[in-house]
Structure 1
């Protein structure tokens, strides 16, 4: 399942040692509340997503902020770009 893959990628890339995929709510915010990631985490995660899934992201785009809102949103972005 893609959401599971995204959760595992987040944990691996950001070296979240005390977090398991089950700990991450797919609908919860990734930044501030929820998982509590910051802008450096977003950058690292964005690079990892581009490498693994070949998706393109724009750092300053409002769309990108929306895509990074949750695991569900990231999974939807990956699915949408796979269909192009």
Structure 2
């Protein structure tokens, strides 16, 4: 797991108050919803707000593409990195 993935895993834990979960308990390719970590739509909203605040990015809530970015820690990290790279150019 790279540094950004670790940061995002910690952000998930902190934002959603997952007391019995450690960063190492969330593999980068584990699904965040359903049978994976078990997050729900309310968790997704809280997480989206936390990501926007922490990384100063925009996540379009009406975008169908946004849903695919929230599938795993790895996909979230790739999305955040792409957003940050886009802001730099």
In the TM superposition, residue 7 of structure 1 has moved relative to its aligned partner by 0.3
Aligned Cα root-mean-square deviation (Å): 0.7
After TM superposition, the score normalised by the length of structure 2 is 0.91
Residues 1-84 of structure 1: pairs in structure 2 closer than 5 A: 1-84=3-86
In the alignment, structure 1 segments of 5+ residues that lack a partner are none
In the TM superposition, residue 60 of structure 1 has moved relative to its aligned partner by 2.5
C-alpha deviations, 1:14-48, integer Å up to 9, x for none? 00000000000110110112100000000000000
Count of aligned positions: 84
**Runs of 4 or more above 3 Å deviation:** none
After TM superposition, the score normalised by the length of structure 1 is 0.96
